[in-house]
Chains A and B, each alone.
Chain A
Amino acid sequence: AQSVTQLDSQVPVFEEAPVELRCNYSSSVSVYLFWYVQYPNQGLQLLLKYLSGSTLVKGINGFEAEFNKSQTSFHLRKPSVHISDTAEYFCAVSRGGNDYKLSFGAGTTVTVRA
């Protein structure tokens, strides 16, 4: 079984400042890793994914994440946030193969202030 821990439940940040959201996972098998974002009153939207290859993954809206196998982490970063980045962010893992179900962390709410 997989589990995901998002270390921060709330992250306040000023506009144009950098932000990092931390995610650690545990799994006895190789997994695929994801970050999703949920804007108010909307469904979850995929920000980026790691399936294989380069450990630095770039996603939409200027976000990137780095897969660190030894530390079992997949932290999300953005060098300069905008007000519109205010949302809840979810880290998730999946075993892949024929098992596509996602295991999510508890979410991190990012509030960007002017």
Chain B
Amino acid sequence: EAGVTQFPSHSVIEKGQTVTLRCDPISGHDNLYWYRRVMGKEIKFLLHFVKESKQDESGMPNNRFLAERTGGTYSTLKVQPAELEDSGVYFCASSQGLGLVWDEQFFGPGTRLTVL
């Protein structure tokens, strides 16, 4: 079974440009999460989808970030326009969504974004 995949693995853009990150969750997983790690700091939650609906977007830093999950399958995270402080590693995770006490999240390898 394929794990969570993310594309691209690296992206280098200039300040003011637009970048779109993609995450393909494990097939059949209803829950999809985005996290971000700024250099040397902790990994921080950005948002949580249940199928195509945003369940919790309390971690989104500002309105330059737009996440979508059309059809409840893959998700995209667009940054427009990118700023220097957006540099970091963006992780995606997915979980089944069985309504259990706890639902294990499986992480992708991350996308390293560098804004120059």
Bound CA span A92–B59, Å? 16
Q: Interface SS of chain A: helix, strand, loop or mixed?
A: strand
A-side residues, CB < 8 A to B, are 4, 32, 36, 41-46, 49, 51, 90, 92, 94, 96, 99-107
B-side residues, CB < 8 A to A, are 3-4, 31, 33, 35, 40-45, 48, 56, 59, 91, 93, 95, 101-110
Interface contacts beyond A43-B108, A96-B101, A101-B48: sample of 14 additional A-B pairs, CB < 8 Å, sorted by A: A4-B42, A43-B106, A44-B43, A44-B91, A44-B107, A45-B107, A46-B104, A49-B102, A92-B43, A101-B33, A101-B59, A103-B42, A105-B42, A107-B42
Bound CA span A106–B102, Å? 23
B102 A43 Cβ-Cβ under 8 A: no
B105 A43 Cβ-Cβ under 8 A: no
Q: How far is the CB of A31 from chain B (nearest CB, A)?
A: 11
Sorted from nearest, which 8 A-B pairs have the closest CB atoms? A43-B107, A44-B107, A104-B43, A101-B45, A106-B42, A43-B109, A104-B42, A43-B108
A-B contact pairs, 6 of them (CB 8 A): A45-B107, A96-B102, A100-B102, A101-B33, A104-B35, A104-B42
* Chain A residues with CB under 8 A of B101: 51, 96
Question: Which of B4, B40, B102, B105 sits near A51, CB closer than 8 Å?
Answer: B102
B48 A100 Cβ-Cβ under 8 A: yes
* Chain B residues with CB under 8 A of A100: 31, 33, 48, 95, 102-103, 105
Bound CA span A104–B48, Å? 16
Bound CA span A47–B109, Å? 16
* Chain A residues with CB under 8 A of B56: 99, 101
* Chain B residues with CB under 8 A of A45: 107
* Chain A residues with CB under 8 A of B104: 46, 49
Q: How far is the CB of B75 from chain A (nearest CB, A)?
A: 15
Bound CA span A103–B44, Å? 7
Q: How far is the CB of B37 from chain A (nearest CB, A)?
A: 8
